[in-house]
Amino acid sequence: MIVCKSAAEVEKLRQCGRLVREILEELRSRVRPGVTTLELEKYTAKRLAELGARPAFKGYRGYPCCLCTSVNDEIIHGIPSERRLQEGDIVGLDLGVIVEGFYGDSAITVPVGGISEDAQKLLQVSEEALDLAIEKAHLGNRLGDISARIQGHVEENGFSVVREFVGHGIGRELHEEPQIPNYGQAGRGSLLKEGMVLAIETMVNSGGSALQIKEDRWTAVTTDGKLSAHFEHMVAITRNGPDVLTAL
Ligand code: MF3
Ligand code: CO
């Protein structure tokens, strides 16, 4: 069952979404060669405490940190460590929070110093795919319209979408129905209704879509070792069109 939210609940989720985005933007400005992903985790934990929010991921199915940091061929769920970011890397930053029983969840992928043209194109296409998918998040459309837009834009640009992980509804739970795949057919799936809040996530590989889970049992990496990027926004379906709750 898809839980639709009241206007008051959407405002609670906006508070969560903005808080996540604020911290992600602070992290973006701290990403540079030589920084460890654990330093980004520690900064995140400090900011969550200061802002009165709880981490949503820490302890979720045993995940050990507040933040996911996925470097280069790591698609999602990279665990912060002593790994030092290097010039030319890309790093996905994914953060979830809980404030007053409501969840916020958002992700960005950012360059570390100067990056290759191929990497720049991957980041651009992945973020564009998310923005184009959000434009489809309006009354009268179906979930498949969102999924198909992501897949279409990614594949037109010669990249591939991840199939094993999906976006999701969000509210008083981190993962609610519906699931939102990065692939699908326009005109299929559930009708979008007022009050639905969707965490749409683009997970885009520069090579093939195949992935593996590393020995840490969390980190998803591309099988071919090529780069992957991840962007995520929370969007409410309203009579006035898509309302991005993770915008600043
Ligand atoms: N944004 C991801 C998701 O919604 C992050 C989950 S990390 C986990 O599934 F640790 F919570 F699993
Ligand atoms: Co999510």
Residue 230 has a pLDDT of 99
Most ligand 1 atoms within 8 A of CB, residue of 93, 105, 106, 168 to mutate: 105
Pocket of ligand 1 (CB under 6 A): 57, 60-61, 63, 68, 77, 94, 96, 105, 107, 232
Residues 122-138 pLDDT 10s:
999 999 999 999 999 99
Most ligand 1 atoms within 8 A of CB, residue of 66, 67, 76, 98 to mutate: 76
Residue 171 pLDDT exceeds 90: yes
Given the CA of residue 106, which atom of ligand 1 is nearest to it?
1
Q: State in Å: Cα 105 to ligand 2 middle.
A: 5
Measure the CA–CA gap between 93 and 70, rounded to whole angstroms: 7
Q: State in Å: Cα 185 to ligand 1 middle.
A: 25
Given the CA of residue 174, which atom of ligand 1 is nearest to it?
4
Given the CA of residue 175, which atom of ligand 1 is nearest to it?
4
Provide the 8-state DSSP code for 6.
Answer: P
Residue 164 has a pLDDT of 98
Measure the CA–CA gap between 132 and 145, rounded to whole angstroms: 10
Given the CA of residue 57, which atom of ligand 1 is nearest to it?
11
Residues 172-211 pLDDT 10s:
999 999 999 999 999 999 999 999 999 999 999 999 999 9
Backbone angles phi, psi at 242, to 5 degrees: -65, 135
What is the overall mean pLDDT for the chain?
98
Q: Whose CA is nearest to atom 8 of ligand 1?
A: 57
Q: State in Å: Cα 168 to ligand 2 middle.
A: 6
Question: The whole model's pTM is what?
Answer: 0.98
Angle between helices 7-30 and 37-51 (to 10 degrees): 140
Domains in the chain with CATH codes: 7-244 (3.90.230.10)
Asked if omega into 178 is within 30° of 0 (cis), the reply is yes
Most ligand 1 atoms within 8 A of CB, residue of 57, 175, 216 to mutate: 57
Q: How buried is residue 68: exposed, middle or buried, by Cβ count under 10 Å (0-12/13-18/19+)?
A: buried
Residues 60/51, Cβ–Cβ less than 8 Å = no
Residue 248 pLDDT exceeds 90: no
> What mean pLDDT do residues 49-66 have?
98
Given the CA of residue 201, which atom of ligand 1 is nearest to it?
1
